[in-house]
């Protein structure tokens, strides 16, 4: 496959992934709960496509790149978008973690012993 085609396809996929992660981020911030299953399934599917695309990029050989086209710009744009994807995905993971921690805190019963019983224990 031609490097320019692989890079163009990869960049389009990166844009799709970024858009999906923005939707997830907006959901987490506005709704304050885990996204719906449809969004999670879509994320799983698109991330597997991204892994395949990254595999295609690894197969490219530098000698097949033309010095006269915009492949260097496509590489730079893809790299930039991937960094944004990693940052946004990390932010989404942190938001999910905070949501789960607050739920755990609400359901955590620190003392199960009656306060009077504690007083009796201290008097012994």
The model's pLDDT over 43-81, given as tens digits with 9 standing for 90+, comes to 999 999 999 999 999 998 888 888 888 888 998 999 999
As to burial, measured by CB atoms within 10 angstroms (0-12 exposed, 13-18 middle, 19+ buried), residue 24 is buried
Question: What is the value of pTM for the model shown?
Answer: 0.77
């Amino acid at each position: 496959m031609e490097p320019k085609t692989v890079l163009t396809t990869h960049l389009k996929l990166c844009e799709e992934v970024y858009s999906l992660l923005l939707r997830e981020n907006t959901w987490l911030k506005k709704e304050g709960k885990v996204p719906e299953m449809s969004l999670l399934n879509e994320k799983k599917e698109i991330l597997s496509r991204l892994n395949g695309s990254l595999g295609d990029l690894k197969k490219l050989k530098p000698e097949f790149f033309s010095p006269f086209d915009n492949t260097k710009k496509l590489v730079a744009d893809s790299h930039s978008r991937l960094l944004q994807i990693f940052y946004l995905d990390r932010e989404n993971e942190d938001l999910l973690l905070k949501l789960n921690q607050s739920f755990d805190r609400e359901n955590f019963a620190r003392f199960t012993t009656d306060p009077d019983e504690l007083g009796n224990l201290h008097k012994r």
